[in-house]
Structure 1
């Protein structure tokens, strides 16, 4: 089985990503062709029974009505074994244009984007194009902070300064201009902003980590991040309503609101990797199901992705490689990632041992999105309780 898996990975990634050897054809097209021919991520799971679906749907619908009802402006989906139990789409992607939200309406998923960025990085690692322990400076050069590894970026233990904060410092960035990922790196090289702490010392959630991972993807693949995500993730998984936002299209995407006020785009809306993917629950379900495929990641790397790395303080919350988690003393684990950007809030819950997917996305600011994880006890033995983590991204 191992030799077969290695051959598949090599054919899918190595041949497509060693760009210097693909001069006779566009590398992105060559890689996409390879994916389409091999189609390695099909995941067959048992069909849920009609009685199971009916009983769970009743519980989910009651939960939805209690937490959102007709107040939701967004998308909500719950599935078991990749089969949808309940979904609901309400409100407007553009109030001004009276464009309703449907199952195919992409909405900004905010920091849930990190899960997708991490997925591409992990697959590059699995293909031998990167290493978890590799120093970032060997990929991005110049890079002003020594001894920061790819894993430090993935699990938020790098100590990098937050670009949203240092761009607010006087004279650092003109807010009339849209900031790019390369601008973030250039500013760090120019100003040498201090690290929050030496790398590996502790956990500190920071968007700069994933802005740098987007640049790593670009360097390794030779493609711009939006194109790399499209060719390496969205197209292979047939996520046809998912894309990376381009500020030039700001009038044509789902808008974002707080109360009755539409929020404006700003100078931070040009960076990606940490945010700026638009998607739908159905597309994200396709992604979630692909992660169960034996061809997705090697068992060793998959295990590393879903384990915690920050135990400086006692508690149930932790962070893996692009995924948050609850780890209870009783052994249960709940994986998730929330997001918040402008008026957009999102939540992705993965009940891995029960193969259940819960996704909530809203483009009108609400903390109700973050309550979706409380559905977990309807599907398994999860000691869920309310605490301050409900509002974290």
Structure 2
């Protein structure tokens, strides 16, 4: 009888300990010096039982949808800043045998736009510019007088994509590397035209964010890479994140591959940044995501501007904020994310703000698997997605 009581007591103690908050939190943001960042946010610590249960669920999802034997990239899911599951597989540079590890930066493609947008919003917070400033007031040679900074951010400028208009006959010599300044100069000197009247409809366009990078440089009188380093990467301890801005150093970064591991060559568009060209890791992007919960990092007013939809000319759940995509359901629930695709690089950044969940997937060998991340959302909250188990990537 005494033995049974002792056994029951021991089981109770073990269970009780497992159900207590886990003190080994990973949610504290540290700056580049390793000190706790001024933008650190205190979340409620998760219990050991919750972390184990959800970690197992996410791992099962990863095994069924990603498959490390085929997937080349990185994957991470966290709640309240605590990592539930992460996985790294494949090669950053297969020809050199460089495998992808926790600290291996990969090209995050259009997820870069989220960071560019937040940098602009921080400059607005600092009263160095306004969302409704005309682009011409900052970049005088820009040819469209009614276009505002906000229209660039929410893709309502009506501009054409530089990747397309530089392909038009006589516009650009594709043997020459294109820069952000070249994009602006071409808009100013060539008859590029508009897709639509500024401010009238949504039209996703990389040109918008190439110009936002120039605006950042003009306002701060520093290069875009340096501004991001000072305002974002260093304060948040994003030690493995950088802007790629020099094609002569293409051999020093992770490479891009077709789905059969055939390496894709860099080209004349690969030096334009703002819309792309940030290399990062899931752990660094987690630090960035956590900082967005801090009112010191970005004011509540700017976060409100960022996370509201601007395009209602068509009915539907899809919308776009300032540098972030969103799905707005009839229930009132919102799902925030941004996907990316550049050459063989695909990426997905999901921030379930209401549930303080971060989901990140990055691949450098072409696959649509990162876009499967939305399937995880219903595990954490009331996201009314309907999935067909037979549907492809």
Asked whether the two chains share a fold, i.e. TM above 0.5, the reply is yes
- Name the SS for the 1:261 alignment partner: coil
- Name the SS for the 1:86 alignment partner: strand
What is the alpha-carbon distance in structure 2 between the residues aligned to residue 385 and residue 340 of structure 1?
24
- Per-residue CA deviations over 1:147-185 (Å, capped at 9, x if unaligned) read 000000000000011111110011111111110000000
Q: Which runs of 4+ in 1 moved over 6 A?
A: 35-38
Larger radius of gyration between Structure 1 and Structure 2: 2
Deviation for aligned residue 1:36:
10
Deviation for aligned residue 1:247:
1.4
**Would you say 1:339 and 2:336 are equivalent positions?**
no
What is the alpha-carbon distance in structure 2 between the residues aligned to residue 36 and residue 184 of structure 1?
38
Structure 1 residues 369 and 36 mapped into 2: Cα distance closer, same or farther (>3 Å)?
A: closer
What is the alpha-carbon distance in structure 2 between the residues aligned to residue 289 and residue 192 of structure 1?
43
What is the alpha-carbon distance in structure 2 between the residues aligned to residue 326 and residue 248 of structure 1?
40
What is the alpha-carbon distance in structure 1 between the residues aligned to residue 291 and residue 178 of structure 2?
33
Greater per-residue helix proportion: 1
Q: Which residue of 2 aligns with 1:46?
A: 44
Q: Which residue of 2 aligns with 1:294?
A: 295
Asked whether the 8 Å contact 1:46–1:81 carries over to 2, the reply is: yes
| Mapping of residues 167-246 of structure 1, within 5 Å | 167-245=166-244, 246=246
**Would you say 1:67 and 2:65 are equivalent positions?**
yes
Q: Which residue of 1 aligns with 2:156?
A: 157
What is the alpha-carbon distance in structure 2 between the residues aligned to residue 199 and residue 138 of structure 1?
16
Q: Which residue of 2 aligns with 1:16?
A: none
**Would you say 1:143 and 2:142 are equivalent positions?**
yes
What is the alpha-carbon distance in structure 1 between the residues aligned to residue 330 and residue 106 of structure 2?
36
Asked whether the 8 Å contact 1:36–1:236 carries over to 2, the reply is: no
**Would you say 1:282 and 2:277 are equivalent positions?**
no
What is the alpha-carbon distance in structure 2 between the residues aligned to residue 381 and residue 61 of structure 1?
21
Structure 1 residues 165 and 87 mapped into 2: Cα distance closer, same or farther (>3 Å)?
A: same
Stretches of structure 2 that go unaligned for 5 or more consecutive residues are 1-30
> What number of residue pairs does the alignment pair up?
357
Stretches of structure 1 that go unaligned for 5 or more consecutive residues are 1-32
- Name the SS for the 1:250 alignment partner: helix
Q: CA RMSD in A?
A: 1.8
Q: Which residue of 1 aligns with 2:249?
A: 249
What is the alpha-carbon distance in structure 2 between the residues aligned to residue 104 and residue 345 of structure 1?
18
| Mapping of residues 67-146 of structure 1, within 5 Å | 67-70=65-68, 71-146=70-145
What is the alpha-carbon distance in structure 2 between the residues aligned to residue 50 and residue 248 of structure 1?
48
